[in-house]
C-alpha cells in the first residue's frame, strides 16, 4: 500500500494495515521463550523475567515449559557435548517460525571452556542462531537489547519473497541433524550445511573487519 495514501487516510481517522504488518505485529509482541536454562546465564535470564527488568513489557513473560508452545529458544549457558543433542532436538520440536538467541560467551563459542574436551564450541554449529549476546554472563539489559533486536528482525520479515522466514521456504528443512554420542566426540561434530569453519588468512589479516572470509 502506498505510504502517502496510508498517512492521508490516518489523518482522516482511517487506520489501514496489511496482512503482513498485522501478522508481524502479533508475532513481535508475543514471543514466547522456551523455559530452558543451561548454566549461569540462565540466572540472568530469570532475572530478566522478574519485576526489576520485567520482560513482560515486551510480551515475552510467558516462558513455556514445552517446546511445542515456544517461539524463541534462549540458549543460556554452556552447551556441553552431552547436552547438545537435547538442545537440537528441542529446537526441532518447536513450531515454526522459531528464533534462537545465543546468550553468553559459552553458547557463542564455548567461552572459558572452549579448550575443554566436553564443551560444544558454539551452538551455531547445530542450529541457526539469530542474535548473539556476548558477556559472561550478559546482564539482563543485554538480553533485553537482544530481544528488541530480535523484534526488529521479525518485524522486517515478509510473507513472500527473499526476506520471508525460513520455514515459509518449502525447500528449507524443518529439522536439523541431531548429533549422536560418538566414541570421542559428537557425530557429526557440526552441521556442515549450517556452519563453516572460518578460514583466517594471515596475508589478508587487517584488510577487513574480521580478518577472515
Strand-by-strand arrangement of the 99-103 sheet: 72-76, 99-103, 131-133
Angstrom CA distances, 3 to 9, 10, 12, 161, stand at 10, 11, 14, 20
* Choices 37-45, 61-69, 71-79, 127-135 (CB under 8 A): range interacting with other proteins: 61-69
> Under the criterion CB under 8 A, does residue 92 sit at the interface with other proteins?
yes
Largest CA distance in the chain: 70
Least distance between other proteins and beta carbon 177 (Å): 10
Nearer to other proteins, 16 or 158 (CB): 158
Give the shortest CB-12-to-other proteins separation in angstroms: 29
Binds other proteins by CB under 8 A, chosen from 9, 86, 142, 194: 86
Other Cβ atoms within 10 Å of 40 Cβ, number: 15
The Cα 74–Cα 64 span in angstroms is: 12
Binding other proteins by CB under 8 A: which of 8, 54, 96, 187? 96
Decide if residue 178 touches other proteins (CB under 8 A): yes
Amino acid at each position: 500500500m502506498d505510504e502517502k495514501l496510508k498517512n492521508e487516510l490516518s489523518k482522516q481517522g482511517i487506520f489501514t494495515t496489511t496482512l503482513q504488518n498485522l501478522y508481524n505485529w502479533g508475532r513481535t509482541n508475543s514471543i514466547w521463550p522456551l523455559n530452558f536454562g543451561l548454566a549461569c546465564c540462565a540466572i540472568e535470564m530469570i532475572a530478566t523475567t522478574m519485576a526489576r527488568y520485567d520482560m513482560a513489557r515486551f510480551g515475552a513473560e510467558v516462558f513455556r515449559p514445552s517446546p511445542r508452545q515456544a517461539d524463541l529458544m534462549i540458549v543460556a549457558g554452556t552447551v556441553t557435548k552431552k547436552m547438545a543433542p537435547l538442545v537440537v532436538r528441542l529446537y526441532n520440536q518447536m513450531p515454526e517460525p522459531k528464533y534462537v538467541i545465543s546468550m553468553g560467551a559459552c553458547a557463542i563459542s564455548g567461552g572459558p571452556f572452549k579448550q575443554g574436551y566436553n564443551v560444544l564450541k558454539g551452538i551455531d554449529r547445530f542450529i541457526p542462531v539469530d542474535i548473539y549476546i556476548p558477556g559472561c554472563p550478559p546482564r539482563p539489559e543485554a538480553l533485553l537489547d537482544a530481544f528488541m533486536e530480535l523484534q526488529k528482525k521479525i518485524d522486517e520479515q515478509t510473507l513472500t519473497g527473499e526476506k520471508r522466514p525460513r520455514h515459509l521456504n518449502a525447500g528449507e528443512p524443518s529439522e536439523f541433524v541431531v548429533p549422536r554420542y560418538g566414541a570421542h566426540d559428537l557425530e557429526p561434530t557440526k552441521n556442515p550445511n549450517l556452519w563453516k569453519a572460518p578460514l583466517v588468512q594471515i596475508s589478508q589479516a587487517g584488510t577487513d573487519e574480521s580478518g577472515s572470509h
